[in-house]
Structure 1
Amino acid sequence: MRTGRRRRVGRGGRVVGLVAAALAGITAAAGAPPAVAAGEAPGAPGISAAWTTGAKNGVGTSTTTDSKVWHTLGQGVLNEVYYPQLDVPNVQDMQYVVSDGENFTELERDATEQRIELPDSRSLRYRQINTDADGRYRITKTYVTDPQRSVLMVRTRFEVLRGGPLQLYALYNPSLNGSGMGDTGATSQGSLVASDGEVSSALASSVGFDAATSGYSGTSSDGYQDLSADHRLDREYTEAADPGNLVQTARIPVEKDTTFTLTLGFGPDRSAAKAATTAALDRTYEAARAEYDSGWHDYLSSLRETPESVTSRGLTTQYNVAAMTLKSQEDKTRRGAFVASTSIPWGGAKNADECCTPGYHLVWSRDLYHTATAALALGDRAAADRALDYLLNVQWNEDGSFPQNTWLDGEPHWQSLQLDEVAYPIVLAHELGRTGDAEWAKLKKSADFIVENGPSTPQERWEEEGGYSPSTIAAEIAGLVTAADMARQHGDEQSAQRYLDTADEWQRKVDDWTFTTSGPHGDGAYYQRIDDDGNPNNGNELCLNNGGGCHDERAIIDAGFLDLVRLGVKPADAPAVRDSLAETDAQLRVRTPNGPGWYRYNHDGYGEKAGGDPYAGEGVGRLWPLLTGERGEYELAAGGSASKHLETMARMANEGHLIPEQVWDRESGNGFVFGEGTGSATPLAWSMSQFIQLARNMDAGENVETPDVVAERYAR
């Protein structure tokens, strides 16, 4: 390992500097007028802070637990960075600014044509290539996290394609410790440091900075505002001491073709963050990248052989990325805590002034069940075990219930109750064979809770309505039947019989509660999304809790009844199931250029507004790729083919191979492409899990996550 030296690479890769010289201080760049040294930055606290789009096309972290930093990419730049846990975002964005010092200053996010690629299809290492729309320069950035420490390393090549000389600035917008309005910052021995409470960051470069400043966003001390005024950095503020919306700007010495490493490190204080960045630079990007790639190679090699359904369709990279992305969504301190997504849906429209905007960096037991079953399908039994441990040791409540969702430490965030989320941990434990005394002591209470509180649920799987839901009832029945099997293993025949009697009754009555014969669609006979009182023919009013309006409950359809088949509660050819498919497709299916997609339900309001503006309490629900996968599982259960469903999910992934929560549902426009991701959440762990499950099921010829004891009782 090299120490004491750092490469400063100019044209042709020539070494032109030393580590000590690069970091010793700020020196004037050739051709750039020196900025006036100043003291404390004015303008605190600056303008309000926000997050960034939920549409990520790259995510990354090392496979080690020593590096507690995760990064996300979108719009050609770095977006949120999470540290020291996956529920603590610390960065709004970081990007480069290019100027000629006289006539133009522009953000690479806004001024370039962008693409992203995986240089190695077996490593979660992304490269962004941003080319100036006017053909003057190109910026190529490759991202890794140092496996040995909490440092993000951005290997950057800056090429002047026409004209010049040009100046390059790093523009860093921290939102430390989960909020954007409490940060302070300063220049410190060639680095830019910032802090908010127990989180600090340090920004450094392998070629040093020849100017650096800290200021407040949107004010005269904001380096980008300063540059935009006259294309020169006129003031260098050495400190932004008052808490506010901090922005830090640094000029990087570049020539016609320069390669360097930008490092962003984190720690509990500024000294620790600086020490981490210095150690990472001393180690070199090449060494970190080799270890980073090796970790991902080893992980993929530890999994089961890639399914034939994947390899025969040329989808191996998509499958590998799905597997790696799921692993990347696990916290490294709270093991087994897999978040729903490292994203904040429509984050650019969400105020970040105060901690803590929830986004999807929370844990839902339902999403965790899907991630764990996908891990089992991959052959990562250890991950599934950790997920169950987290469910039982962190999220489980003394009464047997599970919260709607939690922060990683188990503190509930949204305070409702969803009974399918109480049932799924029982199903998972049974699938894992985790039926010992310790597990059963808790899961028995969960089964009792379902008996005493079901089948009607305060909220179903879309988290908005209460009542009798086919999908929730399917999960409850599966939970009770698997709990009965556990009870018998423990010699508790009385509880086993109670659970089976309840499950049998609910299985007999689910159609009476949720299958209307007087609906306004098709022949009038189909499963409703949900019924308020178990009488599906009385036409009570259902007001959708996301701005979707009020409707006759018989008019609202979703495909949740397919869970009755997936969980073994009904056979695929059950009359009520078959009778519901035509109405479901007529109301919910859209044939996109990438293949068929389905809405969650008709009149859904959870999506961009009609004109494409971000969702803010009302909008137009879009298509969910995971529902294409669920329909594929139904086709398998019915003896058909799921090929087009798997291929559609892959085509709906973005160029970074990340499968979104929602895709655009109509002709391209308003900045969106028909059949491709929106600004909601990408990647969604549930979507990635569904792709993996469907691929494995296609090879098996059946849905392997269907609990055998349930299917044997009802479906076979």
Structure 2
Amino acid sequence: MTPLVAVLLASALTVPGPPASYAPADKQGFGTARQATSPVWFTLGRTGLTEVFYPDLSTPATRDLRLVVDGRTAEGRTEPVGRLRYRQVFRGDGWQAEVAYTTDPSRPTVLADVRLRADRPVDVRVVFDPNLSRDGDDDRAVEHPGALVARDDRSASALVADEPITSRSSTEGNVIQTGTLGLDGVRDRATTLAIGFGAHVEQALSSAKRSLLEGFPRHARRYDQGWDEYLAGLERPKSADRDLYDTSMMVLAATEDKGHPGAFIASPSFPWAFGFDRTIAPEFGSYALVWPRDLYQVASAMLAAGDRAAAERALDFMLDVQQQPDGHLPQNTRVDGEPYWTNIQQDEQAAPMLLAWLLDRADKSTVDSLVAAAEFMIGRPDAPATQQERWENQSGYSPGTIAHEIAGLVCLADLLRRSGDPRAARYLAVADDWERRLEGWTVTRTGPFSPDPYYLRLTKDGRPDAGTAYNPGDNHPTNVDQRAVVDPSFLELVRLGVRPHDDPVVRTTVRVVDEQLEVDRFWHRYNGDGYGERADGGPWNIGHGRTYGRLWPIFAGERGEYELLAGDVAAARRRLADIASTANDGRMLPEQVWAGRGTTSATPLAWTHAQYVRLAWSIDAGRPVERPAAVACRYAGC
């Protein structure tokens, strides 16, 4: 418990609050009602409720809600119950609390059902930190009998309980609110808390009170029913763990904003400096954004799982956010389509082409939008080089990016060919040219890792045998020779059908990547990656000491897809189990792991859940289900 909270608990005086920030990103649970009538999402940390999002998934509205028993906060164990619902168990000196969570499927309210047993009467307080409209520094506490109420210029929150909350206090600026609950673990052992949201105080209070009146059990039943109905419309692969698979599908569905169809965010979390440093994130919200790259991963997984409608919405969203007049897709956007970061990433221009091919979308409106993206892609003077490759911190010629560009153009040409559109020949000619020149841009024959040629992470200049040096970024202390940096992303060439699995350069690079990057069945992104925690576990930030990128579970999925193409189904099954092993107690899959456990990286990461789902279906099918035949048959012998 922080000194500030201790002061608040001891006094009803108003004191200044610290600058607003967000809770650690390793969420133990993530949930929302399936029903669109409830525009509220919640996350769980180790001490209780953390960020709640309202009114959309790009807008965090709280930082945390926790119990303080006899002046202490405890860390709890998270247990899945129902469908994307959870119970947390907390223990202290002579007491145990169980807190179950749900949302009201009919309105923007999060509910926490508290059950407390103690050997003696204990003092129970609640600490609530609203961060309305992405920024808690402009929140204002509102006095209201028996409730903790706050507002800013755009929205409001209200925390109520079965009995009036007493001894209330709040900070100024970044509002942190505390109050005493009417239970002591002996005479009174249960209460329900409700956090309601609205455009103004009256709406927030009305939502909270109505949800509380209708009761936690009713909301939990309807919440579970909504998710049961969703899952009932899908099939399950034989290869996957049933509980983790169901959770993964619900997490993917839950990352879609309810007011903006097709807007699936990357993660409902803000790792490291993205949650507390205004120089890195002047407006907090990074990761609660839509990347075309991540959206393709989610959409292809959901299509494989039988949720075609979700994949259709994802494609529509991609095409709706194309920028005019040049037709490019922005690096990422908020769920309402507003661009957030504005760098150009060429693999993201190809994403809608690949997805449209998987969906067999050849209508004129779709194709015209894809043509605009293709013209932007091939019209850049340095094409197929990219301003940023998929790790978003380097420019140059990336084999992973070029794989997407080639495959995207071939898929677009195939869609055009079906209607006799003569533009198909133009895009095939460009794709064929880039395919012929691929090794000349990205394969070194003079690198330090092998006497045989191998793919590099990227070249800055398209000269892979030159010792061109660059700084990898993310607090790396020195420049590096581009020939000494590899990346598992080259396997996109195989997954997308640009190269066969047994291509000699591919096989050499697999060996080199394993020697350089593999640790305990997972892989680093590239040599010298600094996007991760400090050696002591402290958070990544820029300019605040050396940091170290950890291991990414998504690479196990990508390797599994490669192994399927090589005919090694048993190895692919092991990769699926490896991904599953990284799930935490709430079945959330992380962005990064170390020593077999998730770090404080973005958790849940939709991409990781999507990779688990897609690999499971690929194992059942005996091949990567998203591999475009139009590309593979052209370059890799089908």
TM-score by shorter chain over 0.5: yes
Shift of 1:523: 2.9
Task: Find the aligned partners of 2:210 and 2:523 in 1 and give their Cα distance.
Answer: 49
Partner of 2:527: 602
Of 452, 467, 487, the match for 1:539:
467
Shift of 1:615: 0.3
1:316 and 2:316 aligned: no
Task: Name the SS for the 2:410 alignment partner.
Answer: helix
Letter in 1 for 2:531: Y
Partner of 2:265: 339
Partner of 1:249: 178
Partner of 1:143: 101
Q: Counterparts in 2 of 1:364-513, with a 5 A limit?
A: 364-453=291-380, 454-493=383-422, 495-513=423-441
Task: Find the aligned partners of 2:204 and 2:141 in 1 and give their Cα distance.
Answer: 13
Q: Any idea what the Cα deviations from partners look like across 1:556-600, whole Å, max 9, x if unmatched?
A: 000111000100111111111011111100000001xxxx00000
Partner of 1:656: 586
Shift of 1:352: 6.9
User: Are the equivalent residues in 2 in contact too, given 1:54–1:347 (CA < 8 A)?
Assistant: no
Partner of 2:31: 60
User: Are the equivalent residues in 2 in contact too, given 1:588–1:601 (CA < 8 A)?
Assistant: yes
Q: Counterparts in 2 of 1:25-36, with a 5 A limit?
A: none
Shift of 1:179: 1.0
Shift of 1:147: 0.1
Letter in 2 for 1:573: D
User: Are the equivalent residues in 1 in contact too, given 2:469–2:480 (CA < 8 A)?
Assistant: yes
Task: Find the aligned partners of 2:325 and 2:600 in 1 and give their Cα distance.
Answer: 38
Partner of 2:503: 574
User: Are the equivalent residues in 2 in contact too, given 1:49–1:351 (CA < 8 A)?
Assistant: no
Task: Find the aligned partners of 1:352 and 1:299 in 2 and give their Cα distance.
Answer: 39
RMSD between aligned alpha carbons?
1.7
Partner of 2:81: 119
Task: Name the SS for the 2:270 alignment partner.
Answer: coil
Change (3 A) 1:512 1:115: same
Task: Name the SS for the 2:126 alignment partner.
Answer: strand
Partner of 1:688: 609
Shift of 1:498: 1.1
Task: Find the aligned partners of 2:355 and 2:494 in 1 and give their Cα distance.
Answer: 17
Partner of 1:130: 90
Q: Any idea what the Cα deviations from partners look like across 1:330-385, whole Å, max 9, x if unmatched?
A: 10111110000000012686147997213200110000000000110111111111
Task: Name the SS for the 1:188 alignment partner.
Answer: coil
> Which consecutive residues of structure 1, in runs of 5 or more, have no partner in the other structure?
1-34, 100-104, 217-242, 665-673
Letter in 2 for 1:467: G
User: Are the equivalent residues in 1 in contact too, given 2:346–2:389 (CA < 8 A)?
Assistant: yes
User: Are the equivalent residues in 1 in contact too, given 2:62–2:129 (CA < 8 A)?
Assistant: yes
Task: Find the aligned partners of 2:289 and 2:73 in 1 and give their Cα distance.
Answer: 32
Partner of 2:233: 302
Task: Name the SS for the 1:59 alignment partner.
Answer: strand
Task: Find the aligned partners of 1:462 and 1:397 in 2 and give their Cα distance.
Answer: 25
User: Are the equivalent residues in 1 in contact too, given 2:26–2:599 (CA < 8 A)?
Assistant: yes
Shift of 1:128: 0.6
Task: Find the aligned partners of 1:402 and 1:505 in 2 and give their Cα distance.
Answer: 24
Change (3 A) 1:148 1:244: same
Partner of 1:697: 618
User: Are the equivalent residues in 2 in contact too, given 1:48–1:351 (CA < 8 A)?
Assistant: no
Change (3 A) 1:325 1:347: farther
Q: Any idea what the Cα deviations from partners look like across 1:17-72, whole Å, max 9, x if unmatched?
A: xxxxxxxxxxxxxxxxxx9997xx5434x222221101001000000111000000
Shift of 1:397: 4.0
Partner of 1:215: 170
Partner of 2:4: none
Shift of 1:396: 4.6
Letter in 1 for 2:437: K
Q: Any idea what the Cα deviations from partners look like across 1:592-623, whole Å, max 9, x if unmatched?
A: xxxx0000001000000112110012510100
1:645 and 2:575 aligned: yes
1:172 and 2:128 aligned: yes
Change (3 A) 1:348 1:543: closer
Task: Find the aligned partners of 1:84 and 1:344 in 2 and give their Cα distance.
Answer: 18
> Which consecutive residues of structure 2, in runs of 5 or more, have no partner in the other structure?
1-8
Partner of 1:522: 450
Partner of 2:217: 286
1:184 and 2:160 aligned: no
Task: Find the aligned partners of 1:492 and 1:605 in 2 and give their Cα distance.
Answer: 46
- Percent identity, please: 42
Comparing 294-303 with 248-257, which one deviates more in the overlay? 248-257
User: Are the equivalent residues in 2 in contact too, given 1:62–1:147 (CA < 8 A)?
Assistant: yes
Letter in 2 for 1:131: R
